[in-house]
Amino acid sequence: MFEREVEILADTGLRDWVSEAEWRSVISAMTPELGIGRAATALQQGLARIDDLLLAKGLRVEAADTNGLSDQPVQQRGAA
């Protein structure tokens, strides 16, 4: 494992719901497993922590919810 940093790139819609300290707690839960080379376990733990965090804040997905945005990557041209 060569990476030395964990970064969570959350959707901008979550800015008002999740504090920086809460995101850091997710990262803290992941780093011990990453430190011993267990990236998959770290990812699972991080996702579970995020799920718990969002549920605790009342954010839930209902069966009737639809994906309001395309899942396709957005490609933009850089400055020429």
Assess if residue 50 is contained within a domain.
yes
pTM for the model:
0.70
Assess if residue 30 is contained within a domain.
yes
- What pLDDT, on a 0 to 100 scale, did the predictor assign at position 62? 77
Assess if residue 38 is contained within a domain.
yes
Assess if residue 71 is contained within a domain.
no
Question: What parts of the chain have a pLDDT lower than 50?
Answer: 1
Assess if residue 35 is contained within a domain.
yes
Assess if residue 25 is contained within a domain.
yes
Provide the residue range defining the domain that includes 50. Answer: 19-56
Q: Can you list the alpha helix ranges (DSSP code H) found in 1-80?
A: 20-35, 39-56
Domain count for the chain: 1
- What pLDDT, on a 0 to 100 scale, did the predictor assign at position 80? 63
Question: CB 30: neighbour CB atoms within 10 A?
Answer: 22
- What pLDDT, on a 0 to 100 scale, did the predictor assign at position 74? 79
Assess if residue 37 is contained within a domain.
yes
